[in-house]
Amino acid sequence: MFVKAIKPANAPAAIGPYSPAVKLGDFVFLSGQIPVDPATNEMVHGSIGQQTHQVMQNIIAILDELGLETRHIMKTTVFLTDMNNFAEMNEVYAQYFDEPYPARSAVQVGALPKGAQVEIECIVIDTTPYEKPREKSCCSGCNGCE
pLDDT, one tens digit per residue, over 37-52 is 999 999 999 999 999 9
| pTM of the entire predicted model | 0.88
Mean pLDDT of the chain: 91
Beta partners for residue 120, in sequence order = 33, 78
Rounded CA-CA distance 27/18 in Å is: 17
Work out the number of other CB atoms within 10 angstroms of the CB of residue 96.
Answer: 16
Mean pLDDT over 111-131 rounds to 95
- Domains in the chain: ranges and CATH: 3-128 (3.30.1330.40)
**pLDDT recorded at residue 81:** 98
